[in-house]
């Protein structure tokens, strides 16, 4: 008897305990769901069709100052969104009418100006009848602000508030298209400070930045529907004028700029600087047929003006371009004589960060114009690429550089890597590899002594073709270096499949490395990633000791830049090597 009673009691106790545990479980679950709801930055409406009951959950008061207790109250919501969202909301809240399960969209509230993502979910039973409806309101105001900031960075230059280079090129493209339709002209003014180095070197980089900013802000006010202005690079601004005439003629804008430059710029530390600018002007369609060529022409003209004296404006003149083109077209007839007369090679040293040893040199071409002035390859290479003369020029660069390299090698026996810039146009030539190998053979140089630099943009144009070709070059032992990394559509993800050995971090990163937190983070992660992929990193355009130290700290392998050595004639590299080998 006792035994029976005992088991009954035990069973009851067991059940009670089980119920207690279930209850506890339920309470824990409820607590967890409540927490999830409350921390989700959202508010919810829950509607059960069978019970016809509406509940609001989580942070309702963050969004709305009224309650909803009946499904008929839902239209109250239309009132509180900005007008243009009302229809969207009305259709979105009742998607069961279209038998849809889920929809999300964004609205903006009138009162508190919040951006709200609305997500509507309907649960159906097996017969296709709706059973539950959950509407979630999520505050995405902050997220939108971040997106806006990113968009801002994509279009504008942070220092001056003017357009950035990429966006300027796009806007100029739109001007050209419109000009075709409306038979108008478009002028580009390439505006460059004279002797900017004097400020940067003499007063410091911050003073330089301040000056760029002050002048940029002044230019900002000249913008209109017809005039767009960009901060193009360090001390260069580009102005595009649609249908230049009257108050927006090139001459008027130039006078307005000159007027401003009569007065000094007041810097924050009280110093005053007076500056002048040299301006190159090229007009569409007279000077060039496309955006980049037009900017290039304006730049060439500006350079020309600089070599004639500064503080002036120079209009495009076919003769300036002719002078260049003639120089190179004649070369096909006269061959090397003309090359030697018009071009020369400079070499810039590169150093390892770990032991300070010289690693190699980058060969950089220079064009001597008729007066003996040096013209930057950044100006004439793009034109030579357009008209095909880059091929003979490029072959000459390889031959001349390899020949010089062999002279150093036999004299100093110092192991150097010779870096050669190869243009996309040249690299794509069918016989490029054959010609390259022929030259090496002639001077008894192994491909392993050479590094070929190609720019990131090349790859984007024709990824498959070029990367196969680079793979071949690498197979025969040459090193491949990806130049100007970070200026194109730099995506670390495509690096993985690329046949490269070295990655060159562009000067634009180095420039702002110490002043801009974002650049710091990006550079740090580039170096880290690149190391993991097994490539070497070279930072170029290193101008100061601080930049050098910081890059070394980040683990960058090789440094190139004015701080350690400018591009110099072959003889100066010879003396460097003589010093180095004398020490050993």
Binding positions for ligand C2E, rule: CB under 6 A: 348, 363-365, 376-378, 381, 394, 397, 421-423, 453, 483-484, 540-543, 561-562, 567
**C-beta of 378 vs 580, nearer to ligand C2E:** 378
The SS3 call for residue 228 is: strand
| Residue 121 bridge partners (DSSP) | 102, 134
Q: Binding partner of residue 283 among ligand C2E, Ca ion, none, CB under 5 to 8 Å per kind? A: none
Helix-helix angle 377-387:318-334, to 10 degrees: 70
- The nearest distance, CB 540 to ligand C2E, in angstroms, is 6
Residues 462-501 that bind Ca ion (CB under 5 A): 483-484
**C-beta of 56 vs 421, nearer to Ca ion:** 421
Report d(CA 74, CA 53) in Å as an integer: 13
| Residue 118 bridge partners (DSSP) | 105, 137
**Cβ proximity of 296 and 205 under 8 Å:** no
- The nearest distance, CB 343 to ligand C2E, in angstroms, is 9
Q: Binding partner of residue 369 among ligand C2E, Ca ion, none, CB under 5 to 8 Å per kind? A: none
Report d(CA 129, CA 111) in Å as an integer: 36
Q: Binding partner of residue 381 among Ca ion, ligand C2E, none, CB under 5 to 8 Å per kind? A: ligand C2E
CA angle 251–256–261, rounded 5-degree value: 120
**Cβ proximity of 526 and 486 under 8 Å:** yes
Residues 446-465 that bind Ca ion (CB under 5 A): 453
- The nearest distance, CB 37 to ligand C2E, in angstroms, is 55
Selection from 541, 546, 547, 537 nearest residue 562 by Cα: 541
- The nearest distance, CB 423 to Ca ion, in angstroms, is 11
- The nearest distance, CB 86 to ligand C2E, in angstroms, is 54
When binding is defined by CB under 5 A, the residue of 213, 291, 327, 421 that contacts Ca ion is 421
**Cβ proximity of 560 and 349 under 8 Å:** yes
Pick the stretch among 22-30, 140-148, 185-193, 445-453 that binds Ca ion (CB under 5 A).
445-453
- The nearest distance, CB 565 to ligand C2E, in angstroms, is 9
**C-beta of 208 vs 567, nearer to ligand C2E:** 567
**Structure-token match 């010879």, residue found:** 574
Strand pairing class (343-352; 568-569): antiparallel
Pick the stretch among 41-49, 261-269, 283-291, 414-422 that binds Ca ion (CB under 5 A).
414-422
**C-beta of 327 vs 537, nearer to Ca ion:** 537
- The nearest distance, CB 363 to ligand C2E, in angstroms, is 6
- The nearest distance, CB 42 to Ca ion, in angstroms, is 48
**C-beta of 43 vs 559, nearer to ligand C2E:** 559
**C-beta of 60 vs 352, nearer to Ca ion:** 352
User: What H or E segment, with its residue span, contains residue 539?
Assistant: strand 536-540
**C-beta of 48 vs 233, nearer to Ca ion:** 233
- The nearest distance, CB 541 to ligand C2E, in angstroms, is 4
Q: How far is CA 150 from the centre of its chain?
A: 12
Q: Binding partner of residue 348 among Ca ion, ligand C2E, none, CB under 5 to 8 Å per kind? A: ligand C2E
- The nearest distance, CB 543 to ligand C2E, in angstroms, is 4
Please compute, for residue 334, the number of CA atoms within 13 A of its CA located in the half-sphere on the CB side: 12
User: What H or E segment, with its residue span, contains residue 117?
Assistant: strand 115-124
**C-beta of 93 vs 498, nearer to Ca ion:** 498
Q: Binding partner of residue 447 among Ca ion, ligand C2E, none, CB under 5 to 8 Å per kind? A: none
**C-beta of 210 vs 483, nearer to ligand C2E:** 483
Q: Note whether 210 binds Ca ion by CB under 5 A.
A: no
SS (H, E, C) 269-335: CCCEECCCEEEEEEEECCCCCCHHHHHHHHHHHHHHHHHHCCCCEEECCHHHHHHHHHHHHHHHHHC
Say which residues have a Cβ less than 8 Å from residue 466's Cβ, sequence separation at least 6. Answer: 424, 427, 428, 454, 458, 459
Selection from 321, 300, 328 nearest residue 389 by Cα: 328
Report d(CA 532, CA 250) in Å as an integer: 52
**C-beta of 89 vs 298, nearer to ligand C2E:** 298
Size of interface with Ca ion, in residues (CB under 5 A): 4
The contact set with Ca ion (CB under 5 A) reads: 421, 453, 483-484
């Amino acid at each position: 008897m006792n035994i029976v009673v005992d088991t009954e009691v035990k069973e009851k106790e067991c059940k009670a305990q089980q119920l207690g545990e279930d209850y506890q479980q339920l309470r824990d679950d409820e607590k967890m769901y409540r927490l999830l709801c409350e921390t989700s930055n959202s508010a919810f409406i829950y509607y059960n069709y069978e019970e016809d009951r509406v509940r609001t959950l989580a942070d309702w008061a963050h969004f709305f100052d009224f309650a909803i207790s009946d499904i008929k109250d839902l239209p109250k919501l239309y009132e509180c969104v900005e007008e243009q969202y009302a229809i969207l909301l009305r259709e979105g809240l009742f998607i069961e009418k279209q038998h849809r399960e889920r929809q999300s969209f964004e609205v903006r509230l009138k009162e508190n100006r919040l951006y709200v993502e609305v997500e509507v979910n309907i649960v159906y039973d097996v017969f296709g009848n709706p059973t539950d409806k959950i509407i979630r309101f999520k505050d995405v105001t902050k997220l939108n602000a971040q997106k806006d900031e990113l968009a801002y960075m994509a279009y504008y230059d942070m220092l001056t508030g003017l357009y950035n280079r990429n966006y300027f090129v796009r806007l100029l493209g739109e001007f050209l298209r419109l000009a075709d339709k409306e038979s108008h002209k478009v002028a580009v003014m390439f505006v460059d400070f004279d002797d900017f180095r004097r400020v940067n070197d003499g007063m410091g980089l911050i003073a330089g930045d301040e000056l760029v900013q002050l002048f940029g802000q002044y230019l900002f006010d000249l913008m209109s529907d017809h005039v767009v202005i960009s901060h193009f690079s360090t001390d260069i601004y580009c102005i595009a004028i649609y249908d230049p005439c009257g108050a927006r003629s090139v001459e008027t804008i130039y006078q307005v700029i000159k007027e401003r430059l009569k007065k000094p710029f007041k810097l924050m530390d009280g110093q005053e600087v007076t500056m002048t600018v040299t301006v190159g002007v090229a007009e569409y369609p007279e000077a060039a047929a496309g955006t980049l060529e037009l900017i290039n022409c304006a730049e060439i003209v500006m350079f020309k003006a600089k070599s004639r004296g500064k503080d002036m404006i120079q209009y495009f003149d076919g003769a300036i371009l002719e002078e260049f083109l003639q120089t190179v077209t004649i070369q096909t007839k006269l061959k090397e004589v003309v090359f030697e007369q018009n071009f020369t090679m400079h070499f810039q040293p590169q150093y390892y960060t770990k032991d300070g040893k010289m690693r190699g040199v980058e060969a950089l071409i220079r064009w001597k114009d008729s007066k003996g002035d040096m013209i930057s390859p950044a100006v004439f290479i793009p034109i030579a690429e357009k008209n095909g003369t880059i091929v003979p020029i490029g072959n000459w660069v390889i031959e001349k550089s390899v020949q010089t390299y062999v002279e150093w090698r036999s004299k100093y026996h110092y192991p150097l890597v010779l870096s050669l810039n190869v243009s996309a146009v040249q690299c794509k030539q069918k016989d490029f590899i054959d010609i390259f190998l022929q030259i090496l053979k002639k001077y008894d140089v192994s491909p392993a002594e050479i590094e070929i630099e190609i720019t990131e943009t090349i790859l984007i144009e024709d990824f498959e073709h070029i990367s196969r070709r680079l793979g071949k070059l690498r197979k025969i032992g040459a090193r491949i270096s990806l130049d100007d990394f970070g200026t194109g559509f730099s995506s670390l993800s495509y690096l993985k499949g690329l046949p490269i050995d070295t990655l060159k971090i562009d000067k634009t990163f180095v420039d702002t490395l110490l002043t801009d937190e974002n650049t710091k983070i990006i550079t740090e992660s580039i170096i880290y990633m690149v190391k993991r992929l097994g490539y070497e990193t070279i930072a170029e355009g290193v101008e100061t000791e601080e930049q050098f130290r910081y890059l070394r700290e980040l683990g960058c392998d090789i440094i190139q830049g004015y701080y350690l050595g400018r591009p110099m004639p072959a003889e100066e590299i010879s003396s460097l090597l003589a010093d180095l080998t004398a020490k050993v």
